[in-house]
């Protein structure tokens, strides 16, 4: 059965403005979650845009506005490398953010990329089950999940044609990326779809054609991961720079961003 989803997107002039919008969103969703549930649970990704966002969150005014004492931070995916490796998503977040803000260490749930991939995935699933107090087939509901998208349409560490696209029962998996000959640890797409707010941060001219294809094509030309992200509440959000969003229709101005809405059916 086809699933309908609405994609709402904001297109900003520069990557720096995307990062600012992401920091504003991170702060706002954390505050709202604490008000509503007493705790904020946010899952982050690696990449250039999150790195810019981390630097902003570690500085004023955001540093004083984020409820760090009631925040738990998780990762969407991780490369199978030690946390000190230059390619580690955790290392980037630690250098730009964690080392500079008052977030307690036991509220930081990193994926252990230095372990055997299957062991690392199993340990992270156990950590999710314990911290969210899940039972049976329950899945965690993150207050905010921040995603990117690769030139090939991958998101998290769910790559085209990889086995992870078929996983629907587990929360976290080890996924082999054949064209990189590397293992990754990643949340599965059904878990991502459970997020209360799922947001893509996408930048660069190299993403424009793929983004147009995914959002405006009649059907997905191949089994790509990004179209699988259909948030269960029915709406997925995208923060884009002008280069990435250049082929999408702009409807109106909203602050300093052009906005658009597309109804998707896959």
Give the model confidence (pLDDT) of 122-132 as tens digits: 999 999 999 99
Instruction: Give 187 or 227, the one with higher predicted confidence.
Output: 187
pLDDT beyond 70 at 176: yes
pLDDT beyond 50 at 196: yes
At 158 the pLDDT is 92
CA distance 214 to 161: 16
The tokens for 209 are 């054609």
At 261 the pLDDT is 87
Q: Which domains does the chain have, with CATH numbers?
A: 4-265 (3.40.50.1360)
The tokens for 151 are 């030139």
At 229 the pLDDT is 61
At 83 the pLDDT is 97
Give percent of the chain above pLDDT 90. 70
| Angle (deg, nearest 10), helices 48-57 and 15-37 | 60
| Confidence at 153, pLDDT banded by 50, 70, 90 | confident
């Amino acid at each position: 059965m086809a699933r309908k989803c609405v994609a709402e997107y904001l297109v900003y002039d520069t990557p720096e403005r995307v990062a600012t919008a992401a920091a504003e969103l991170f702060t706002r969703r954390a505050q709202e979650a604490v008000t509503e549930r007493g705790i904020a649970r946010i899952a982050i990704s690696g990449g250039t845009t999150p790195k810019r966002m981390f630097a902003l969150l570690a500085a004023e005014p955001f540093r004083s506005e984020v409820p760090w004492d009631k925040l738990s931070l998780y990762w969407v995916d991780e490369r199978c490398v030690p946390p000190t490796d230059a390619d580690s998503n955790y290392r980037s977040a630690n250098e730009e953010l964690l080392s500079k803000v008052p977030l307690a260490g036991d509220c930081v749930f990193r994926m252990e990329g230095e372990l055997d991939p299957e062991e690392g995935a199993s340990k992270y699933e156990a950590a999710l089950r314990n911290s969210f107090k899940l039972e049976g087939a329950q899945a965690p509901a993150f207050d905010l999940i921040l995603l990117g998208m690769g030139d090939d349409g991958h998101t998290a560490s769910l790559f085209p044609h990889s086995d992870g696209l078929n996983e629907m029962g587990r929360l976290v998996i080890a996924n082999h990326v054949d064209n990189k000959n590397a293992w990754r640890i990643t949340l599965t797409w059904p878990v991502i779809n459970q997020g209360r707010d799922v947001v893509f941060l996408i930048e660069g001219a190299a993403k424009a054609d793929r983004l147009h294809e995914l959002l405006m094509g009649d059907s997905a030309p191949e089994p790509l991961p990004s179209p699988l992200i259909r948030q269960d509440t029915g709406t997925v959000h995208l923060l884009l720079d002008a280069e990435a969003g250049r082929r999408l229709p702009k409807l109106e101005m909203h602050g300093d961003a052009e906005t658009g809405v597309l109804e998707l059916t896959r």
